Amino acid sequence: MTPDSHILITICARKGSKGVHLKNIRPLHGVPLIAHTIRQALAWPRGSKVVVSTDAEEIARIANEYGAETPFIRPAHLATDTAGKLPALIHALEESEKHHKNRFDVILDLDPTAPVRTPEDIEHGWETFQRSGRAVCFSAVKARKNPYFNMVERDADGHVRLVKTPDKALASRQSAPAVWDMNASIYFYKREFLLSRPGSLWDGDPELFEMPPESAFDIDEERDFVIAELMMKLRGLV
């Protein structure tokens, strides 16, 4: 399998993080967190370029050290707490095409906070993306809670209700319609979708592919580093 010159891999890693300070470069099994995702990206044989989009010189330096490119620094207005991911991806695509003088037809975005994924998970996503013909395809994991059975919300009158009302009463979660958690790990996009400046990924009529729970862990808070370390050790990823 040889790299495809039209596949750009992006890793978006801003310096700000409310949950864990400098999360993206915090050590995990002896290397910065982002390094695990860079290694996974480089190990997937189809990608041609691995580019880190960041607003921090320190993150850029570390990304370079582990083999990723940083041909630009992300503008501050695309790196705030309220800035969306898609504008940052559009910027990364346009700057990468300008830098490499190459057109990238597919953008694979990997979140740096998902260190337990594998290149095999990425390949599974790629195969689903190719089969689907959709503009967007993302990873998901079977949800442990179900809005038709054991997830509730409070309505405008203050009454507690199921989030989704089933057609008939359900005796168990297993009999409820299947639902998935978006696990913030792997996203495939077609170039034309991003350059259309979509409002959200839902504008691309997305497809999902299911990841096994052991590959789908996302680091969001302090205790997650401890869990991720254990999961990586148990899976032989370190």
Quick check: is 123 in a domain?
yes
pLDDT, residue 171, reads 83
Counted domains in the chain: 2
pLDDT, residue 1, reads 63
Q: Are 95 and 188 part of one and the same domain?
A: yes
pLDDT, residue 236, reads 86
Q: Are 113 and 11 part of one and the same domain?
A: yes
pLDDT, residue 141, reads 97
Find the domain containing 168 and state its range.
144-178
Nearest to 234, CA basis, from 37, 29, 43: 29
Q: Are 91 and 137 part of one and the same domain?
A: yes
CATH at residue 134: 3.90.550.10
Find out whether 140 and 179 touch, Cβ atoms under 8 Å: no
Calpha distance 145→191 (Å, rounded): 34
SS (H, E, C) 45-68: CCCCEEEEECCCHHHHHHHHHCCC
Neighbouring C-alpha atoms within 13 Å toward the C-beta of 237: 27
Quick check: is 221 in a domain?
yes
Quick check: is 225 in a domain?
yes
Q: Are 62 and 173 part of one and the same domain?
A: no
Q: Are 88 and 162 part of one and the same domain?
A: no
Counts of helices then strands in the chain (DSSP H, E)? 6, 10
Q: What is the mean pLDDT of each run of 10 residues along the chain (238 residues)?
A: 84 84 93 98 96 97 98 95 94 98 97 96 98 98 93 96 90 88 97 97 97 93 93 87
Find out whether 62 and 23 touch, Cβ atoms under 8 Å: no
